[in-house]
Amino acid sequence: MNVNFLPISKEEMLARDWHYYDFLLITGDAYVDHPSFGTAIIGRVLEAEGYRVAILSQPDWRHKESFTALGRPRYGVLISAGNIDSMVAHYTAAKRRRHDDAYSPGGKGGLRPDRATIVYANRIREVYGDIPMVIGGLEASLRRFAHYDYWEDKVRRSMLLDAQADLLTYGMGETATIEIARRLSAKEPIASITNVRGTSFLTKTFSDCAYPYELCASFEAVAKDKRAYAEANWIQYQEHDPVRGKAVVQPHGDAFLVVNPPAMPLSTKELDRVAELPYARAWHPSYDDKGGVPAIEEVLFSVTHNRGCFGACNFCSLAFHQGKMITSRSHESIVREVTELTKHPDFKGYIHDVGGPTANFRRPSCKKQDKVGLCKHRECLAPKPCPNLDADHTDYLQLLRKLRAIPGIKKVFIRSGIRFDFLLQDKSGEFFAELVKHHISGQLKVAPEHCVSHVLDHMGKPHIESYERFKQKYQRLNQKYGKDQYLVPYLMSSHPGCTLSDAISMAEWLNETGRQPEQVQDFYPTPGTLSTCMYYTGLDPKSLQPVYVPKSAQEKDMQRALLQWKRPEKRTLVLRALKEAERTDLIGYGAHCLLRPARPGESSRQERAGAKASHQNEKKGKPEGKESRGQRQSPSSDKKRTKAGTPKTRNRAAEAQTKTPRGRK
């Protein structure tokens, strides 16, 4: 039996001589016991507190018997859809159905339902009645308030109501989960557990709110009034701060949704403890004959050194989930982890990443945050860096040097996002030099996203001049150290604020730089983000000023095509866009032109080729770009597996996986 894993069956519980257990963890992912998987972390944290925990992974929601297979737990059920949102896992930005899922055995899709948290929770209510039930993970976290749902194109109420759950935990939920478990095991009724930070609950009276609070517009109001929605969204963001934030109350019918202030981030000591729990660092052996679980591939030899992100990209869910405050692990803890990785039978000497939400954030952005929190009306980096910004990279640099010196280590790469505007603020330049010399695997991926200033303002990104300065310095350093390394920019089409003319400006900028991206991310309105608020309301929630929103499928297709104008199958769309925007001056033979005039018969051939390519993508359910950052999904893999069931990883960039524990309760 698999005594190194948390039990997933009655047989495995009996192998531990368990005749009862305390908590059932239900997840929409396959069970991978690794610290990049939220269910594994919550399970191990509870185990370390002395509780007996069983895992029910990807139960068949069509049959209620799947939910009783392990028997009734003593204290309660904790439910998560998995590391990523189940709707994002199932649908592309164009709402086409995906056919694979990197978090499922063999990469097979369809093993979890749409809106998995709600479906699982309703099944538990059906089979176990009033058992204490807590929902969490990324899916629930971003849906804790009334929220716009892109897939139904309407405002839905808080997920807490639809799931019929007692509590909803949001953010990185170790502290909240431990507190809830302690009180449930002490026989406290779950209805009285209303003062735990990082949780939300329903009540009939304000007297149950244990913290100072802000009242935002009700579900009914935000469902019919877009301005009210934008105002409520901004209040929710402003109070999402563990130091200065208040609770937020939102009426839902005759009840009140109370979202308590965020939990304080874990300390360095606490982060070390969580990272060094006895994970098996592999998928459960029951998946061996199914090809394993592809999502572990890119994180198996990677290390998460930090949490939180003050980058404040409006389209990213991280700020509303993990929060903006940075906490990091100790050097000693990370050295111990990497030393253990060198003993893995498949380790080839390469650490694929030492990163997190943003790799080069290892300390608070300024000295006052620990005492007063982050500024309410000022971002740290965009549109310009704050004068109080502390951009010293010395600690991160010293950590990387220690890792490079460990016996058995050939290379230590950084493949999580590098915030280039923050890096430029480090006046010493020492980290930048060593990044180029030691930590890039052929290409460095950064995210300018766009080149038009007002579009970047709506994205919460720095203006393009910052990227240009970074690019020039990067090229100089590569030349200085004799490196042939590339810079790969992430770009986004159809973000709120981006017109067709702006997309053409981006194409012109790319043409001038001599690069065309292989992939373009079409903006994906995922729940909870400020950009999604703009998409739904047509208002900037910060200023309540109108924002142009490209919504039609035709315009979105044209904007994406403009960023890949050289592809023959995109010609028809690019031509249509140039004509619609009255920019036919870009059709010709000059160096500034995007299209050459068509030869006789050429347009019809290219149009047929484009239609065929689009049809194939739609049939396969494949997106034409990357995942929404903050909810990326690992690509599926057909690589060979070892007998132990762990993947043979290759030394290549993790194209779509953020190496940080996400989606947990």
Position 630 scores a pLDDT of 40
Position 417 scores a pLDDT of 87
Give per-residue pLDDT as tens, 172-182. Answer: 999 999 999 99
Over 312-336, what HEC string results?
A: CCCCCCHHHHCCCCCEECCHHHHHH
Residue 656 CB neighbours (<10 A): 16
Position 22 scores a pLDDT of 98
pLDDT higher than threshold 50 for residue 105? yes
Q: Is residue 569 part of a domain?
A: yes
Q: Which residue has the tokens 């930090």?
A: 306
> Which has the closest alpha carbon to 276: 48, 116, 457?
48
Residue 354 tokens read as 């030492």
Position 527 scores a pLDDT of 95
pLDDT higher than threshold 80 for residue 633? no
Range of the domain at 346: 301-441
Tell me the pLDDT of the chain averaged across its residues. 89
Residue 61 tokens read as 């929601």
Residue 550 CB neighbours (<10 A): 23
pLDDT higher than threshold 50 for residue 652? no
| 8-state DSSP, 106 | G
Helix (H, G, I), strand (E, B) or coil at 444: strand
Measure the CA–CA gap between 636 and 642, rounded to whole angstroms: 17
Q: Is residue 46 part of a domain?
A: yes
Q: What average pLDDT does range 571-594 have in this prediction?
A: 95
Measure the CA–CA gap between 7 and 283, rounded to whole angstroms: 13
> Which has the closest alpha carbon to 339: 398, 412, 251, 413?
412
Contact 200, 259 (CB under 8 A): yes
Residue 305 tokens read as 């050194």
Position 608 scores a pLDDT of 57
DSSP H or E stretch at residue 250: strand 247-252
- Percentage, residues of the chain above pLDDT 70: 90
Say whether both 463 and 586 belong to one domain: yes
Higher pLDDT, 143 or 639: 143
Write the CB contacts of 157 (distance below 8 Å, at least 6 apart in sequence): 146, 219, 252
Q: Which residue has the tokens 């039609």?
A: 552
pLDDT higher than threshold 70 for residue 662? no
pLDDT band for position 186 (50/70/90)?
Answer: very high
Say whether both 126 and 73 belong to one domain: yes
Lowest mean pLDDT among 69-78, 81-90, 162-171, 597-606: 597-606
> Which has the closest alpha carbon to 258: 186, 197, 315?
197
Say whether both 492 and 520 belong to one domain: yes
Q: Which of 155, 172, 199 is the last residue of a domain?
A: 199
Contact 28, 652 (CB under 8 A): no
Residue 482 tokens read as 């004799």
Measure the CA–CA gap between 162 and 302, rounded to whole angstroms: 37
**Domain CATH for 123:** 3.40.50.280
Position 191 scores a pLDDT of 95
Cis peptide upstream of residue 383 (ω within 30 degrees of 0): yes
Say whether both 475 and 426 belong to one domain: no
**Domain CATH for 378:** 3.30.750.210
Lowest mean pLDDT among 234-238, 389-393, 515-519: 515-519
pLDDT higher than threshold 80 for residue 650? no
pLDDT higher than threshold 70 for residue 261? yes
Say whether both 45 and 61 belong to one domain: yes
Measure the CA–CA gap between 616 and 99, rounded to whole angstroms: 13
Measure the CA–CA gap between 321 and 325, rounded to whole angstroms: 11
Strands 443-449 and 486-493: parallel
Q: Is residue 251 part of a domain?
A: no
DSSP secondary structure letters along 10-23: HHHHHHTT-S--SE
Q: How far, in Å, are 277, 295, 302, 352, 390 from residue 33 at the CA level? A: 10, 12, 15, 19, 36
Measure the CA–CA gap between 612 and 662, rounded to whole angstroms: 37
Q: Is residue 469 part of a domain?
A: yes
Q: Which of 397, 426, 441 is the last residue of a domain?
A: 441
Say whether both 345 and 462 belong to one domain: no
Write the CB contacts of 263 (distance below 8 Å, at least 6 apart in sequence): 171, 172, 173, 175, 176, 197, 198, 242
pLDDT higher than threshold 50 for residue 8? yes
pLDDT higher than threshold 70 for residue 222? yes
pLDDT higher than threshold 90 for residue 378? no
Measure the CA–CA gap between 612 and 618, rounded to whole angstroms: 10
Measure the CA–CA gap between 53 and 300, rounded to whole angstroms: 24
User: Does the pTM exceed 0.85?
Assistant: yes
Say whether both 450 and 437 belong to one domain: no
Residue 171 tokens read as 């953010």
Say whether both 608 and 586 belong to one domain: yes
pLDDT band for position 598 (50/70/90)?
Answer: confident
Q: Is residue 454 part of a domain?
A: yes
> Which has the closest alpha carbon to 521: 565, 490, 550?
490
The number of CA neighbours under 13 Å toward the Cβ of 463 is 6
pLDDT band for position 606 (50/70/90)?
Answer: low
pLDDT band for position 572 (50/70/90)?
Answer: very high
Count: domains in the chain: 3
Contact 120, 79 (CB under 8 A): yes
User: Which runs of E-coded beta strand occur in 494-593?
Assistant: 521-522
Give per-residue pLDDT as tens, 452-486. Answer: 999 999 999 999 999 999 999 999 999 999 999 99
| 8-state DSSP, 481 | T
Say whether both 492 and 603 belong to one domain: yes
Give per-residue pLDDT as tens, 195-215. Answer: 999 999 999 987 778 999 999
Give per-residue pLDDT as tens, 33-81. Answer: 999 999 999 999 999 999 999 999 999 999 999 999 999 999 999 999 9
Give per-residue pLDDT as tens, 512-528. Answer: 988 888 778 999 999 99
pLDDT band for position 131 (50/70/90)?
Answer: very high
Say whether both 482 and 583 belong to one domain: yes
pLDDT band for position 362 (50/70/90)?
Answer: very high
Q: How far does the chain reach from its first CA to its final CA, in angstroms?
A: 28
Q: Which of 178, 199, 220 is the last residue of a domain?
A: 199
DSSP H or E stretch at residue 255: strand 255-259
Residue 490: exposed, middle, or buried by beta-carbon count in 10 A (0-12, 13-18, 19+)? middle
Lowest mean pLDDT among 193-207, 392-406, 624-638: 624-638
Position 614 scores a pLDDT of 52
DSSP secondary structure letters along 202-221: EESSGGG--S-EEE---HHH
pLDDT higher than threshold 50 for residue 648? no
Position 12 scores a pLDDT of 96
User: Which runs of E-coded beta strand occur in 425-475?
Assistant: 443-449
Count of residues in the chain: 665
Q: Is residue 269 part of a domain?
A: no
Q: What average pLDDT does range 108-113 have in this prediction?
A: 95
pLDDT higher than threshold 90 for residue 3? no
Q: Is residue 363 part of a domain?
A: yes
Say whether both 15 and 38 belong to one domain: yes
Q: Is residue 205 part of a domain?
A: no
Helix (H, G, I), strand (E, B) or coil at 295: helix
pLDDT higher than threshold 50 for residue 629? no
Q: What average pLDDT does range 562-569 have in this prediction?
A: 93
pLDDT band for position 616 (50/70/90)?
Answer: low
pLDDT higher than threshold 90 for residue 142? yes
Measure the CA–CA gap between 99 and 413, rounded to whole angstroms: 31
Contact 136, 664 (CB under 8 A): yes
Say whether both 430 and 468 belong to one domain: no
Contact 46, 105 (CB under 8 A): no
pLDDT band for position 611 (50/70/90)?
Answer: low
Lowest mean pLDDT among 149-158, 230-239, 370-379: 370-379
**Domain CATH for 618:** 3.30.750.200
